[in-house]
Every structure is written in C-alpha cells, then in structure tokens.
Chain A
C-alpha cells in the first residue's frame, strides 16, 4: 500500500510505503532430504510465479536459520529473522511443518535530482515481532478451522492432497491479510463481548436451549449481537478463531444488504415471509429457490479425541446472529433448513429488537457520551475478553484506529515488556508528542490507556487512570 507522506507538500515527492507481504511459504524439510530433491520440501509458495531456484534458496535460508539457532537454544526455535529490507517470521505448528511469512519493512522513497534512481530508506524499527508472529499463527488457525491439521490431509491423501488444500485455502486467504493495519489487537486475538443485563441474557440462553432441544442435530451454538459475542458453546480457542472469521470475513461480506434499506434491489427477497428478518449467511441464500443447494462450510473444532468436523450454519436477523454447528456426518436437507428458518427466524427477530431496545435504554441511563480524555484497550487472558475504544469498527479490509500509529506501537512495546515477566507490573510513559501511555498488568488482565492530557504530571495521570479503573473495570487493578 502506498501512502503519500505529508512532507510531499514541500515540493519533493517523497513516497512512503507501508509494510507489505513479500512471500509466504510452507515447507517440510523431511520431504526432500536429498540433494536435488529440495523442491519436494516446498508445499506452498506465494507468490507462485517465483522461480524454482529462488524458492529453494529462500527455504534453504530458513532451514539454516532454524538449524543455526538450535546451536544456542536447542529447545526454543527461531521465531524471526530481521534484515535490512524485511522480516521473516517462522512458525512450526506441527512437527516439521514450517510456515514462513516474509514482510517487507516500511520504506521511504526519496527522489534524487538529475534523473538518478530514487534513494530507498528502509524503516527497520517499525514492525513489531509480536504482532506479525501472531498473524502467522492466526493464518494457521484459520486453515485448521476449515481444513483440520496438516497431518489430517497427509493421512487422507498424502502430500498431493495437502498441497491442493494449502493452495486452495491460502490463495484466497492471503489476499485478505492487511499487514499495514495489524496491531496489538492481533496479538491478543480476543473476543469482544456484548454487555447485557441479566434478563436479556437469560432470554438468549433460553432461546439457545429451546432451539437445541427442538433441533437435536445441533451440537454447538454461538450467539452474537452487533459483531460481539454473547453466548458460545465452543471451546475458547475454537471460538476465538471462529469469531475472527465471522467478524472480519463473513459478516462484513453480508452487511451491505441490511444497510441498503428495504426497497433497494440489493436487499435479498425476504422469501415472501414478512414475519421475520431471518436469513442464512452460509448455505442457501433463498430457501424458496428450487435450485437452492444445502451445502454449508465445514469447520474443525477440538474434541476429546482430537478434532471433530462440523457444518457451520450462520443465521442472522437484523443485528443478531446465531451459529449452529452440526456434525458433518449428517447430511443437511431442505427440510431441516426450512424447519430451522421457521423456528429461529421469528424468535431471533424478536430477540434482536429486544436487545436493541435494552441497549438503547442502558446507553441513555449512562448519560450522553462526551468525548473522554482517554482511550483504552483491555484484554483478559482468562476469558479472551477484549475491549477497545481506540479501534473504530474493524472490517475485513481495514482496521481504523483513532490514534497515531506510533502510539499504537508504543502500546505494543509495553505489551512486549509485560510478556517478559510473569509478575504484575505497571508502566507509564510520556511520548515525544506529549501523550501519556499507561500500561497495567494484573493477574492475567492487561489494560492500556492513552491520555490526551499533555500538561498533566505523573501523579495526575495516575489519578486519571485510577478513576477509569473504578468506573470501567470495578477496580480490578489493585497494583499501585
């Protein structure tokens, strides 16, 4: 992605390039151990049009780095390689399978006079390892969600099947990586929970129970409102990646029709049924269509004996979305879908308007929102709950933040510091732009606050954060 820096106005055309994906490959060193067979190690390589010898060379370097690092720490593998032009991230998700992502450092292109080629300056200290390391792990988790482990593909159809699956999945997935807008939230990979009063929460729970009872095929259910989670029957780690898929990929793709207004041609036919607004986001778009296919995406979640394969049905009414997961061994029919639509559609529509109403009332009670003097990110490692007032709506393509990228990186730096020790800690820094940044870590919880009080001192900043903790987090941070 190219951004024109503000300095451009001064006459010299200076181009600023954000970090970008240079290559992404997956290899297994045991697949081509002999000389001349190196190509067999490579299971996937993006971009695919790279010349064969170059692919082999780049994989060779990764192998050498990993091997070399073992000289000094046999148990901890190499995680990244920093060079002037790029950073490479290594991840071994399954024995001997290595995923490598190469990210080009951001750079500034400065034009030269007299027709000389422009000077390129690499900004080597801009990329945070923790952020992109998390992106690589997320890539694997997403592959695993839809395909199961690499090992599973190997068992089912050997290297050929695995390479096919990798090709099919990553070809599209890599296009959705937006490396320039990755930040601390990717490190957390948390779930945003919808705040709700007890009554409404119970209503939702009883809805889930009723549906699961009537449609006994359903194994797991998850309930979301406004892209935020309310209820989930899945394991935390499975929900985390499913949540990521729903909120950054599936929901954004389907949001347009709802925004389009009732009479817009974009709006799908409400199937002649005006009793409810329910519709399938996965599977058939129109139940009345005689040609409709009742195929749903399959996902893999952890089970007692490894993993289980499930159909993923995502059904949405207004801002409420319910995910129903059914064992993949069952074939889903038109009958079942109609039954589900008839049962869930009206109830979900009702629930959605209930929640909406409740939400508006709560907001009114808490008073008119005035722009606060601070912004914060909160994350709880125990339940993966995350909350950010820094990020505007996170969509598939961009993650808009309301603060300067440098401040976001300072948050990332503090997070790295916290990760080093297991103890509770607090860090307060003042940036060159005079913003104050406060990080607190206490018992699995992390809170980062950015304060826009340039004339405050350390004591005042501390008081401000104390107030915030008291009002927003019920004083869960005790360390003073």
Chain B
C-alpha cells in the first residue's frame, strides 16, 4: 500500500503551496486498513501465472513492443510467415463455415445515412493508412468507404503538423482515434466512457486483428502494397471482432485486466493442475482449461508468462465459435502480447461433447497436432481416474455464486481483483441487472469508477457515488481493487462496514475462488 502516494503532497493549512513532506506512517488507512501487496485475498502463493499487470496502463506501454519490432526486422522470416498465413487463412475460413454466427446474421445491411445507424451506442472502424476500410461494426465497409476516407484525412492532416489526433468531443458523442501503424482504429461512442477507456477497447480490437495475422505479416503486406484490401485476408473472421466488442461491453475481466475462475475446491483444482502438468510435451508452452468464460487452471512453461490480453483473445476465439465442439481444432494464433511476430498453434477441444470444459494446448510447432492430441489423451485418461474430475463437473453446475451468499444487506453486486495474481471474483448479476441493457448499464457504472480511480494524472484512492439508482464505492490499494454496488438505500456507514466484511468473506473463500498455486511444467 505504501508504494502509492508518491506525488507531492501539499497542505493548505497555512495557505501555502509549498510541498510538505510527511511520514508515510501518518497516512490514513481509511476506509479500512489495507493489505500489503501479495497478501491480499486471492494473491498467489508462488509466482503468478500472468505477466504482471497493474491495470490498463501497460496497454499503452509501447516501448517493449517497439523493441520487439526492431528485433524482428533483423530476421528474415518472410517465407515462413507466408506459409503460416496460408494456414491461418484456411483455418479462419473453416471456422467461419462451421460457425453458427454467420456474417449474414450481422447487422450489416444497414443504411449508413439512417438515424438508426447513427444512433448505435458504439461504432468501431478499422482502416488502413491508405484509408481503405477494413472493418466496421455496423453497416458495410463499402458504404462507409468515404467516411473512412475522411477519418484518414483527418489523421494525416494533424500528423502533417507533427501532431497526433486523439479525439473529437461533442455533446453526448465522442470520436476517438488510435493509430497503430499500419492500421488506424476509430471509435465513435455515445456512452459516458472516458477517452482512455475507449482507447483501451480499440487496443483490444487491434490485438484481435494482430492475433489473426501477426504484426510482421501486417507490416509486410502494407509495405508491399499500400493499397491492399485487408478484408481479403480477414474475410470470415469479423465475428471475432464483433464478439470481442460485445465482451468489452459486458465482461468485467476486460475492464479489470483480469480473469475470473471457476469456483472449485482447491484440492480438486490442484489435482486437475497436476494432471495437466504431467501431460507435457517438448513444444507445449501453455495448457489452459476453461469452463465457459472461466478459468479452471493454467499450466505454463517455466519463465513463460501469458498476458491477460492474450488470454482474453483465446477466450474470445473459443467462445465465438462452436466448430471446436465437433472435434479437435488446430489453429494458428498469434498472442500479440507475447510475441507479435509469430504464430503459436493451438489445439482446442472439449473434454466431453456436451461439456463446458475446453482444453487449449498452445504449442510452438506447426506440425505438433498429433503430439498435442496425445497430451490431451494423457490428461483425460489421468484425470478421469480421479475423483477431482467428478468434483469439477459438480462445480460446473454452479459456475458462479449469488451475492446473497456474502450476507451484506443492500449489496447488489461487486468486483474484486487481486492485483498480484491478476484474478478477479464477482457474483452473478442479480435479478435487477439481468437484461443486457441493465447489465451494460452496470458495467458502464463500473467503467466510470474504474476510469476515475485510474485517471492518468489524477488517480484516486477511493470513489463513492450516491445517486437515485444505486450507491457505488470503489477502492484501490496496492494489493487489490474493489468495486461495490449497493441499493440506493445503502448508507455510507454500511458501505464502510461492507468492505471489511467482504474482504473477510473473500479471504475465507479464496481457496475456492482463486487459483492459489499455479503450476509450471
């Protein structure tokens, strides 16, 4: 907790602006005492599974990427990439053909000059630096080519002044620009989200596209032919971006830069983890077991970490397509936070046909399908002999919990993120927030709290908002982030005591709610 608060503190006791040095120990501990990082409920016991992510700040950290790109330029991987691309293209199309979300069902054929089109809550456009349309969330790219041309013109005009365009603000509407050469992403939003939140979402879309093609490939294509129509390569994969945008509106994990777990007794989870651990292979880097959108366990190669963005892209890939249910899938995937240059190859399959349990084995070798298939076999064989398998299947029946179990009156919902493990826990959405609309509204409230706490220059320790519809409290320490939603009847005194009570409850349940002992091969 003490790592924070390093900004100069200023007192106006004597009406001066002189900075006052204060002893750290004088610092307040309200609303309730904090916990040292790494000891908060949900903190991992050994080393974490993920690359350490404080928050979305690291989304904007470009330095390491630039460095990686520089390294890439030195190696001639072109031929290999092109081969990879062919595989990629084919697989994407196959998925598309099998997928139940066909592009016909997308709201594509909209009149882009209609009020209905205009009034969508959030538009997302992707274009090339030549101004060629690559993706639009609503309407067809063809109909929007002139609009996208104007977008590109604005970007280049400001660039010509050695400046960078960030956003346009109008009443109740904003346009946010993100240039990620060779792509330009534009978001148009009628939500209350801050520019930073919208940029974070555009970053996700950017990484989604990179995960299909690799950045090296993208650069290569546009260096070769500036005018290239990238839709030719991405055809059939738009549903991934569509789906990701839906997730961004509804999944707290993408907001928190964290992942949530299937609640499971730690004894059972440990058995599953160690079964995965023994089913290893030479080129296997990550073994991920999912239950729907929840992580059951993740085993990784020593020293190799998975970034939460990459993991969310994997979640999105698996969750967006039903084709993996029909057998063993084998697909190239670039994990852009790991390496923007090359493809991994993912073996994706469900443990049982009708089960929610999906196993993803990530290998570095393109020819590794049969090895991975064998790994899965070994894992399933080993696991099926253990009682943990039954326990896990039982746990699947109630993959979440209700907020009533926590026993705090007036508390409707909460999000708790353990910073050191990158995992979060949250009860299911209560009755009041069951509809998509209400759920998105609640997420909007959380996003708002999040952007206040994580303001780039004026971050806050806590934020309490009392309105007609709900009372909200957000609190961040070096160990955790906590967001609570109360009914409007909840008082401030209740909110303060709720924090204590909730932290105690999470501590008591942490064995079940978090992965406390992640394994490596």
Q: Is the CB of A73 within 8 A of B118?
A: yes
Determine if A52 is an interface residue (Cβ-Cβ < 8 Å).
Answer: no
Determine if B491 is an interface residue (Cβ-Cβ < 8 Å).
Answer: yes
Q: A72-B173, A78-B170, A82-B165 are in contact. List 4 more A-B contacts (CB 8 A).
A: A64-B150, A421-B467, A432-B459, A433-B10
Q: A434-B461, A462-B492 are in contact. Are A78 and B168 (CB under 8 A)?
A: yes
Interface 9-residue window, one of B26-34, B94-102, B296-304, B378-386: B26-34
Q: Is the CB of B168 within 8 A of A61?
A: no
Cβ < 8 Å to A, chain B residues 136-192: 147, 150-151, 153-154, 157-158, 163-173, 175, 188, 192
Closest Cβ neighbor of B158 among chain A residues: A83
Determine if B68 is an interface residue (Cβ-Cβ < 8 Å).
Answer: no
Kindly list chain B residues whose C-beta atoms are within 8 Å of the C-beta of A426: 464-467
CA distance A283 to B17 in the complex (A): 41
Q: Is the CB of A402 within 8 A of B15?
A: yes
Q: Is the CB of A81 within 8 A of B468?
A: no
CA distance A421 to B470 in the complex (A): 14
Chain A 362-379 interface 0/1 with B at a Cβ cutoff of 8 Å (1 = within):
000000000100010000
The bracket for how many chain B residues form the interface is 35 or more
Q: Is the CB of A427 within 8 A of B463?
A: yes
Expressed in whole angstroms, the minimum distance between the Cβ of A205 and any Cβ of chain B is 36
Kindly list chain A residues whose C-beta atoms are within 8 Å of the C-beta of B7: 406, 432-433
CA distance A425 to B192 in the complex (A): 16
If over half of A's interface residues share one DSSP class (helix, strand or loop), that class is named, otherwise mixed; here it is mixed
Expressed in whole angstroms, the minimum distance between the Cβ of A127 and any Cβ of chain B is 11
Out of B19, B168, B456, B466, name the residue touching A80 (CB < 8 Å): B168
Q: A65-B154, A431-B458, A455-B30 are in contact. Are A371 and B13 (CB under 8 A)?
A: yes
Determine if A176 is an interface residue (Cβ-Cβ < 8 Å).
Answer: no
Q: Is the CB of B13 within 8 A of A427?
A: no
CA distance A86 to B165 in the complex (A): 10
Determine if B512 is an interface residue (Cβ-Cβ < 8 Å).
Answer: no
Kindly list chain A residues whose C-beta atoms are within 8 Å of the C-beta of B150: 64, 68, 71
Q: Tally inter-chain residue pairs, CB-CB below 8 A.
A: 185
Q: Is the CB of B175 within 8 A of A458?
A: no
Chain A 305-340 interface 0/1 with B at a Cβ cutoff of 8 Å (1 = within):
000000000000000000000000000000000000
Kindly list chain B residues whose C-beta atoms are within 8 Å of the C-beta of A424: 467-468
Closest Cβ neighbor of A88 among chain B residues: B168
Expressed in whole angstroms, the minimum distance between the Cβ of A106 and any Cβ of chain B is 10
Cβ < 8 Å to A, chain B residues 467-492: 467-468, 491-492
Q: Is the CB of B468 within 8 A of A423?
A: yes
Q: A6-B19, A72-B118, A429-B464 are in contact. Are A86 and B168 (CB under 8 A)?
A: no
Out of B28, B175, B468, B491, name the residue touching A72 (CB < 8 Å): B175
Kindly list chain A residues whose C-beta atoms are within 8 Å of the C-beta of B158: 61, 83
Q: Is the CB of B460 within 8 A of A431?
A: yes
Q: A125-B457, A371-B13 are in contact. Are A73 and B170 (CB under 8 A)?
A: yes
Q: Is the CB of A456 within 8 A of B30?
A: yes
Closest Cβ neighbor of A433 among chain B residues: B9
Q: Is the CB of B464 within 8 A of A413?
A: no
Out of A6, A402, A432, name the residue touching B12 (CB < 8 Å): A402
Determine if B294 is an interface residue (Cβ-Cβ < 8 Å).
Answer: no
CA distance A78 to B463 in the complex (A): 30
Determine if B4 is an interface residue (Cβ-Cβ < 8 Å).
Answer: yes
Q: Is the CB of B173 within 8 A of A76?
A: yes
Kindly list chain B residues whose C-beta atoms are within 8 Å of the C-beta of A434: 5, 9, 27-28, 461
If over half of B's interface residues share one DSSP class (helix, strand or loop), that class is named, otherwise mixed; here it is mixed
Determine if A386 is an interface residue (Cβ-Cβ < 8 Å).
Answer: no
The bracket for how many chain A residues form the interface is 35 or more
CA distance A371 to B492 in the complex (A): 27
Q: Which residues of B contact A (CB under 8 A)?
A: 4-5, 7-13, 15, 17, 19, 26-28, 30-31, 118, 123, 147, 150-151, 153-154, 157-158, 163-173, 175, 188, 192, 195, 448, 452, 455-468, 491-493, 495-496
CA distance A76 to B174 in the complex (A): 11
Chain A 79-103 interface 0/1 with B at a Cβ cutoff of 8 Å (1 = within):
1111111100000000000000000
Expressed in whole angstroms, the minimum distance between the Cβ of B154 and any Cβ of chain A is 6
CA distance A125 to B153 in the complex (A): 25
Out of B27, B167, B455, name the residue touching A413 (CB < 8 Å): B455
CA distance A311 to B169 in the complex (A): 40
Q: Is the CB of B192 within 8 A of A430?
A: no
Closest 9 CB pairs of A and B: A457-B30, A84-B164, A82-B166, A404-B10, A426-B466, A76-B171, A428-B464, A430-B461, A73-B173
Out of B157, B169, B468, B495, name the residue touching A78 (CB < 8 Å): B169
CA distance A431 to B165 in the complex (A): 30
Q: A6-B19, A454-B27 are in contact. Are A84 and B5 (CB under 8 A)?
A: no
Determine if A420 is an interface residue (Cβ-Cβ < 8 Å).
Answer: yes
Determine if A259 is an interface residue (Cβ-Cβ < 8 Å).
Answer: no
Q: Is the CB of A432 within 8 A of B4?
A: yes
Cβ < 8 Å to B, chain A residues 392-416: 392, 402-404, 406, 409-410, 413
CA distance A409 to B460 in the complex (A): 12
Kindly list chain B residues whose C-beta atoms are within 8 Å of the C-beta of A404: 10, 12, 17
Expressed in whole angstroms, the minimum distance between the Cβ of B487 and any Cβ of chain A is 14
CA distance A319 to B7 in the complex (A): 42
Question: Which of A420, A425, A457 has the most CB atoms of chain B within a 10 A radius of its CB?
Answer: A457
Closest Cβ neighbor of B113 among chain A residues: A71
Kindly list chain B residues whose C-beta atoms are within 8 Å of the C-beta of A457: 28, 30-31, 496
Determine if A37 is an interface residue (Cβ-Cβ < 8 Å).
Answer: no
CA distance A428 to B147 in the complex (A): 42
Closest Cβ neighbor of A406 among chain B residues: B458
Kindly list chain A residues whose C-beta atoms are within 8 Å of the C-beta of B4: 432
Q: Is the CB of B28 within 8 A of A455?
A: yes
Q: Is the CB of A61 within 8 A of B12?
A: no
CA distance A79 to B168 in the complex (A): 8
Chain A 441-462 interface 0/1 with B at a Cβ cutoff of 8 Å (1 = within):
0000000000010111111001
Chain A 142-169 interface 0/1 with B at a Cβ cutoff of 8 Å (1 = within):
0000000000000000000000000000
